[in-house]
Every structure is written in structure tokens, then in C-alpha cells.
Amino acid sequence: MNISSISSRAASPDASDWLDEAEVAKLTPAMLVERAREIRDLAASFAQEAERMRRPADAVISAMRRAGIFYHFVPARYGGREFGLQTFIDIVTTVAEGCASSAWVMSFYMQHNLLLSQFPLQAQEEIFSKYPYVLAPVTTAPPGKAVPVDGGYRLSGYWKYTSGVVHANWLMLAAFVERNNVPAEMRLFMLPVEQARVIDKWYVDGLAATGSQDVAVDNLIVPEHLSMEFEKIRSGVGHGKEMQQSHLFSLAVDVLLNVSSSSPAIGAARACVGHFRKRLLERSPIGADGKPDIRPSSMARLAEATLAAETAELLLREAADRAEAAARARQTLTAEQRLRIRSHIVYAVKHAKKAVQIVSDAAGTSAHSLDNPIQRAVRDVVMISSHTVYDWDIAMDLLGRVLTDTVSENMLLHHSAGQVG
């Protein structure tokens, strides 16, 4: 295992791939979706190499930067575009058709610029004046420890699953602040990635190309303005709601996490079904009518998998619309309302998993060859579905308690505590 702050990372991004103001101003949702299709094809061509490297290919991340993808959620006052959730889903699901790991990292890079907008004005001005956007993983697991000192906090801890740390320039790390006679408060801390040690322990079978390595920090002093109350960020009532005009900065971030992390699963499932359809058309004998003579059982599996993938996408998009409608109304969702929306996304991921499993069972042994995109989609979607936010039993237990009015606010908040990523 490699333990290093340098050798397990790609070179930090520089200004070579930033767009100028005129180029950013021309960006439209349709343009970004079209460019996402090009990135999808590039990511697919690098998919096997990315898995071998256990991180996204440098060329793919660079293409995302040159396409202007990461300006999506940046506040307009800092030169960003402030596009909505449906465009976000379009972009992420499209790239995921080529490589779910690359789409997973991209989705969090995009989303976390919105998180930065919830930090104090001084933090936003300091960072966005130097960078048009941040490539900043967020991790809460397990929380670190922060001790108040003059002007800030002394931060220490060991965090897992920092998706995107390989190409990152900043980190957002959660830690509990301990004060005398006061209950511990969780805060999110921002720091340049060079101030942390990156520990390469990412050896997994699904989402293998995300480079979701561990990081550690020892007694690092973080200024006060580079920290923010976790609960305010999670529920969408941080500084962004006060400072920015767009409704996007009133979004509940735990719901946004679900949208971010489920979109790669939906895109991968959609691609998996597409590969299966192509496989049936190409490998079936030609009948007397000149058309492929596909077995009825295979037709049925294709239809069932298609419906599962389409249902997953419909559920996700409807949940995103509900979250965005509340933000437009400047409505702060309660923990119960957020749970109800998240439950639909949990169910969407369950359908995405069902779609790839149907294909896996029906596609034959050669579909499990390591160069076959079907097996890759199965591994990636199953890995996504194992994420803590998609724990089926917990999600359904909580929803059942909501439906019977037997859930407490503390229980809902406890379940949400780790759901920022």
C-alpha cells in the first residue's frame, strides 16, 4: 500500500484548462449536455485503463475542465452558470454511460462548488478569487476532531472515501468540535489538498476507477472562515441562501447528495441495457423475415430491464424536481420532507440495480469478460447501491415510521448526519 501526499495523486490542476469569461458566458445547458456526450465516449475509451490505475484518466478530467462542466453550480457572482438539477442529471447520466467511476467523481466535483457557496463570504471570496471552481472531495466518515484555538481550529483525523482526491485542489472534511460543557458540534472544514496526507487503500471491485483514497490530517490549524456548521450546510440554510439570488443555494444538500450519487447508477444501468439490446441484435440468428430471431425469454428480459432502468430515471428526475421546487419557493424542507424525497431516490437506485442484474443473468458467460462493459456496469451499480445513503432496510424502516407517525426528529437527523458527500 502506498502512503504519500504526492505519488498517489495526479498533478494538481492549473489554469491551463480554465475557460475565459467569454467562453463561460456562452455555455448553455444544451451545450454542456452535448459536450458530456463527447466526454462519455472519451471516458469509455479509457475505462479499462482507469480501472487498472484505480482513478479517472487524466485526459478525461482535463476534458471535463475544458468543456466547462465544473462551472455548472458556481455562483454567478463568481463567474459561474447556476444551471439546474435536470441539466445536472443529464450531464452525469450521460458520462456514466461511458464510465460510471468518472461520472461519480465529476458529479461530486460539480456539486461541491454549491457546498462552498454555503461557507462564509470570506471563504468564498478567498477561494473563488483564485479558482473559477474547486475540485474538492467531501467526506464525513469517520468524523475527525477539531479543537478551538485563536482564530480557528486545530484539526486532526483520518477520513475514508475521498472520491476525487487524485485530481483535487481542495478538501472538505467533517469533524466534531469539542467545547467545555457544550455538546459536540459537527463542522465542515476546507483546506488545500496539499495540507493532507493521501493514503492509497482503494482496492475494490466496483467504482474502482474513482480513486476514493483515504486522507489524514494531524494538528492542522484551519482558519475560522474556512469552516461551517455541518447542519446548516446539510439542510441548505448556510450563507449561500443569504447571499446568492438563485434558488439553487437553498437546496437541501443531503437531497442533492442523493441526486449526485444516484445519477451515475442510472446512467450505467441505461448503458448496460443498451449493450444488452445490441448484443441480442448482433448475436441472434437471422429469421425467415430477415430480422434477428431473438428468443422470447431474451426479449422479455430486455423489456423488463428497460422498464427498470426507465423507472429509475423517472423516479430520480421527479425527486429532483420536488427538491428544486421547494428551493424555488425558498422553503426549508424538514427532515421528514427530505426523507420522503430521498426515499424515492433510494427506490430509483434499487431499480437501477435490478436492471443490471436482469441483464447480467440473461447476457451469458461472455458478458462477464473483463473487457465487456456489461460486467463493469454491474459492479459499479452494485457498489453504488451499497453506499450508506441507499441502505434499503434503514431507508424503508424510517419511511415506515414516518408513515405511521412513529419517528422522532432526532432519529431523522441522526440518519441524515453522514449524508453529505
* Domains with residue ranges and CATH for the chain: 2-128 (1.10.540.10), 138-229 (2.40.110.10), 251-416 (1.20.140.10)
Task: Tell me the mean pLDDT in the region 87-108.
Answer: 98
Write down the pLDDT at residue 294: 84
CB 209 within 8 A of CB 251: no
Please tell me which residue, 180 or 206, carries the higher pLDDT value: 206
- How many angstroms separate the CA atoms of 171 and 352, rounded? 30
Q: CB neighbours of 10 closer than 8 A, spacing ≥ 6?
A: 55, 58, 61, 166, 167
CB 147 within 8 A of CB 153: yes
pLDDT tens per residue, range 171-190:
999 999 988 777 789 999 99
Write down the pLDDT at residue 14: 65
Write down the pLDDT at residue 41: 98
- How many angstroms separate the CA atoms of 102 and 161, rounded? 15
Q: Tell me the pLDDT band of 353, cut-offs 50, 70 and 90.
A: very high
Task: Tell me the mean pLDDT in the region 127-146.
Answer: 95
Residue 12 pLDDT > 50: yes
pLDDT tens per residue, range 215-227:
999 999 999 999 9
CB 323 within 8 A of CB 255: yes
Task: Tell me the mean pLDDT in the region 68-91.
Answer: 97
- How many angstroms separate the CA atoms of 318 and 341, rounded? 9
Q: Tell me the pLDDT band of 413, cut-offs 50, 70 and 90.
A: low
Give the strand order in the sheet containing 2-4: 2-4, 197-200, 213-223, 152-162, 138-149, 170-179, 182-192, 227-229
Q: Tell me the pLDDT band of 414, cut-offs 50, 70 and 90.
A: low
Scan for cell 495526479, then name that residue.
Answer: 10
CB 27 within 8 A of CB 79: no
